Structure 1
């Protein structure tokens, strides 16, 4: 037991596991909690930690920009620079700071606020500047460059392949175009085919543009009617009538519609008959005969009451249709009158009074009305052309005349001469040649060619369509270009060709042609386009549309061939 100096009782525990009973929780006042050595050691450790943190902060400040807080680099826009005051920044950031401050007034250091200008900047070279590693970025850029180079190479190879294909196609297109312009169609493809007669007896055609009626002659298919008949066709609908109009006992050699009365058709034949047929009632309404077979007919251009017919011996008869009597005639014994064409009056052309164009096989002339006499008389003017004529046609719109001649004398081939009448009161010949187209040497029959007038469109040139027996083709000639623009191979001899001025298919002009069992419709337009050809059997529906610079031809087998040229 201790003395009374101490009021605290210390109880010593017998073991470490025993609780301290009666030991004060808080130490007495001024009771030392640590030794002097511990205090000194703690003070030194704290001082060293503060100094270390200060050095680390200064190191961070030396290696980073105070403005953007990003690391400084040894090169580039963010290399270290300092001002006169000694503070360090990234070059790019400090320049922007000074320039921005200059706009607001005097520029100053961002840290100490000392005055600063751009010329105060000094570049620093320090060992502890961090070098930024751009290896990953460079690798990525190199990879993209390699990919772009590879893609470019592939595109160049693809472009070269397409360039080679384009050259091949261009060469092929030129070859096909050359074949299209220079060659002939093998064999003629047909758009529509109609069987008109079985006895190969079709002969001539006539067309009326007002009611779009096409008529053709043939021998009757029935044994009970031993005569030659007329068949009608609605060209707009391409529908062949089943009706037969009996008009002649022998072959019909020519037919022509009245210029004013659309239903009135005049026809002549080898039976020496002259018939006027009313197509509304399909009946012959007037008839008369002459003492010789007849080959041709037309209405006089100066008077629509006068019908002019030409005979096998070259004679010409003038008939007044109102009484069906001959009021004048020129009877001769020469070669046959193969063609007569109406010549309307015109104040701007030679033969202004009108009349008709007459073509004997050996002679070509114009007969113009003499107006001073009381009744119709005509003055004949010989035209300055020679040949063995087979047909003629005249277009009053262009004032062009087409005369076709067979091989004769010094001329060993077919000739198709396009001429033009002189203007009224013009000095020189009344007829001047424009261009002559030549065919082959073979011509065993009389074939009728036709003049296809221009329809007034752009590049819509007048054309000549004719059949060439030597090559077995329907040739199409462009008058303005003076060349053959196409030829269509056909199996039958084409006896007659006739323009259909008001019938157009896709803007193309139309011409009809006829063989002994074949009708031909020809449509033409100058601009070239793509050629397509669809062929079928000869007496069934066949389709063709051939495009060409000049013409489209539709041939129909009458059997009726129909050819188109675009």
Structure 2
């Protein structure tokens, strides 16, 4: 393959006419075809290459001129020509030189069919090199004149439609943009139409019998393809698109990092606020102790119950039409007290909760949970924003109180009375039914059906249930559920194979059992009976002993004290045990229905220390720690009264 360059097309036309006249005279004299000058003749004995050549010339208007000659001497009429062998290195370098000189459009590509070149051809090229210098001078002057004339010409603003512009920049076969490199670079057929290289090759090879141009149906073949080195090619900028996609991915990752950082800062802020509140409480206590140092030193043996009493802090009217407020639960991590209440809108009946912020005791809006009365509420000890609720509508539901969204809901075959979370696995909880069964759910591994179901000894519903964790420091080595039914109290030890029942053999008609995990004491409340005409409140301690016959630990209870209550109990009430942090004094707080009062008793001395008059029958009592002290919430059917421990002096 060789490249021939024409320096001046006008002078080439003049020289072509002169050479044709000389050629005609030489033909008449039987001389050799294709003489280069009048002064030099090529001998008839010189070897002539028997080859057929294809000449392709692209003129200034970007049109292709294709012709065939029988040998290379017929190309000698082209004046001022340079020939460069097309190998892998020099061919690409020569094209770059042509583009720098601005004459790349005047190119003839000659495809040789024989590799050998005759000696006559070498002599012809040497003579043409001598003519090239004169042509370069004329070419430069001509270019200067043409450029000056172009500067004087008016600029015409051409408007191209979107369809025309798209046809200039896309392959008509695949309708995709051309590229200047690669498999889809621009090539042309001998008819002049442009295509992507890979597309037109596939087109022509797919129809060998009648291969034609896809646009004009002119005959074409793969060997007619010529690569176009265009000055301007509109190429799809995939690099910019890739850069933008990477930028989007980077921004998404950065946003995720910011969200994590925001969550961490929010948690840290909550912890700091909690720490500040504790410091403020300690400061107040130090001030009080400093002011009363003399009295506290002289009376160091005086207990907590001699120094403090419950004082009414706030009363909140729940505005319930028919009452029916029932149970409460406290979330210390969120400083939130929740209580069950019926809906106040007749069009949307049912039961739900109201949230009270214990920092300012503001009541938030009602949130619907169940269609029937709620019997129990419990917060998750590890994931504090999860609230478990059970109802007579046979549904157990886990709700996120921060977003008021239902996390999971289970529908069972009987009304539900009680519930509690596992303290060993934050994803497990237990619900007690009216038929005396306990259903074990795992929200992490199984969210559809209960993992296990335990049958509890006794009759009636499971009125209360509390998860007790093993505590080796206190000599308690079993983990399980403290379960209360109407006529029995048992400890259900939970093992990998099932449950082991520890029966306490306590007689009575039980309504509720309160448990204090610090002291391992429980307060059992039972209705009046024929033998005992008063409500009884008995204190028991939980212990484990080793049974040598059964070779295992056995949970047993010991009665410590018994308090006599009122003579009537029309509504099942929930009482409490609480430990005051200052001196670990254990207090029993229970309701007196006949007098609409609440009694506070010291368990260590079994003596009452205070009687509170809330003015209504209290059905749930819940102690909690606020930001500035210890409180006791007392819930009736229509109101909530909050009491605070205050100094007696």
TM-score range, shorter chain: 0.5 to 0.7
Q: Does 1:446 align with 2:565?
A: no
Q: What is the Cα deviation at residue 350 of structure 1?
A: 6.0
Secondary structure in 1 matching 2:450: strand
1:214 corresponds to 2:337:
yes
Say whether 1:356 aligns with 2:478: no
Aligned to 1:250: 372
CA contact (8 A) 2:326 2:374 kept: yes
Corresponding position: 1:340 with 2:473: no
Distance 1:423 1:335 in 2: 27
CA-CA distance at 1:348 after TM superposition: 3.9
Residue 414 of structure 1: aligned partner: 535
Deviations 1:152-189 (A, max 9, x none): xxxxxxxxxxxxxxxxxxxxxxxxxxxx99xxx9xx98
| 1:380 CA displacement | 1.4
TM-superposition CA deviations, 1:309-338 (whole Å, max 9, x none): 111222221111223321221357931111
1:484 matches 2:605 = no
What is the aligned counterpart of 2:617 among 493, 498, 501? Answer: 493
Stretches of structure 2 that go unaligned for 5 or more consecutive residues are: 1-304, 548-552
Q: Deviations over 1:342-387 (max 9, x none)?
A: 212212456524112100011101111224x3xxx22111124221
Deviations 1:443-472 (A, max 9, x none): 1110000011131x24x5211111110121
Q: Superposition RMSD on alpha carbons, in Å?
A: 2.5
What is residue 563 of structure 2 aligned with on the other side? 437
Q: Which residue of 2 aligns with 1:11?
A: none
Query: In structure 2, what is the Cα distance between the partners aligned to 1:301 and 1:382?
Result: 22
Q: Deviations over 1:3-61 (max 9, x none)?
A: xxxxxxxxxxxxxxxxxxxxxxxxxxxxxxxxxxxxxxxxxxxxxxxxxxxxxxxxxxx
Cα displacement string for residues 250-306 of structure 1 (whole angstroms, at most 9, x for unaligned residues): 000001001100110000000000000001111212101111101100113443322
Structure 2 matches for 1:20-99, cutoff 5 A?
Answer: none
Residues 73-109 of structure 1: per-residue CA shift (max 9 Å, x gap): xxxxxxxxxxxxxxxxxxxxxxxxxxxxxxxxxxxxx
Structure 1 residue aligned with 2:490:
365
Task: State the match for 1:294 in structure 2.
Answer: 416
Task: Report Cα offsets for 1:121-180 as digits up to 9, x if no partner.
Answer: xxxxxxxxxxxxxxxxxxxxxxxxxxxxxxxxxxxxxxxxxxxxxxxxxxxxxxxxxxx9
| Partner residue in 2 for 1:172 | none
How do residues 17-416 of structure 1 correspond to structure 2 at under 5 angstroms?
A: 190-199=312-321, 200-241=323-364, 243-322=365-444, 323-324=446-447, 325-330=449-454, 334-349=459-474, 352-371=477-496, 373=497, 377-416=498-537
- Distance of 2:480 and 2:643 partners within structure 1: 29
In structure 1, the gaps of 5 or more residues are 1-179, 531-566
Distance 2:493 2:474 in 1: 12
Cα distance in 2 between the residues matched to 1:273 and 1:465: 31
| Contact 2:315-2:642 within 8 A present in 1 as well | no
SS of aligned partner of 1:512: strand
Structure 1: which 4+ aligned runs deviate by more than 3 Å? 188-191, 330-333, 348-351, 423-429, 522-525
Q: Supply the distance in 2 between the matched residues of 1:319 and 1:403 (Cα, whole angstroms).
A: 27
Take 1:429 and 1:495, find their aligned partners in 2: how far apart are those partners? 30
Contact 2:313–2:642 (CA<8 Å) still a contact in 1?
Answer: no
> Any conservation in 2 of the 1:256–1:266 contact (CA below 8 Å)?
yes
Partner of 1:467: 591
Tell me the CA shift for residue 420 of structure 1. 1.0
Contact residue 477 and residue 544 of structure 2 kept, 8 A: no
Give the TM-score normalised by structure 2: 0.49
Q: Provide the residue aligned with 1:519 in structure 2.
A: 640
Offset at 1:437?
Answer: 1.0
Equivalent position SS for 1:307: strand
CA contact (8 A) 2:634 2:640 kept: yes
Q: Which moved more, 1:347-356 or 1:316-325?
A: 347-356
Matched residue SS, 1:470: helix
In 1: Cα distance, 2:555 partner to 2:405 partner: 45
For 1:306 and 1:519, locate their aligned partners in 2 and report how far apart those are by CA, in whole Å.
31
Aligned residue pair count:
334
Aligned mates of 2:422, 2:529 — CA distance in 1: 30
Distance apart, 1:504 and its partner CA: 6.2
2:300 is aligned to: none
User: Do the aligned partners of 1:272 and 1:292 also contact (CA within 8 Å) in 2?
Assistant: yes
Alignment partners' CA distance in 1, 2:555 and 2:439: 28
Q: Which has the higher contact order (CA 8 A, sep 6+)?
A: 1
Give the match's secondary structure for 2:324.
Answer: coil
Quick check: which one's helix share is greater?
2
Distance in 1, matches of 2:576 and 2:642, equals 12
Aligned equivalents of 2:408 and 2:312: distance in 1? 39
How much has 1:485 moved relative to structure 2?
1.1
How far is 1:408 from its partner? 2.2
Q: Distance in 1 between matches of 2:554 and 2:455?
A: 31
Identify if the C-alpha distance between structure 1 residues 416 and 261 changes in structure 2 by more than 3 Å, giving closer, same or farther: same
Measure the CA separation in 2 of the matches of 1:213 and 1:463. Answer: 23
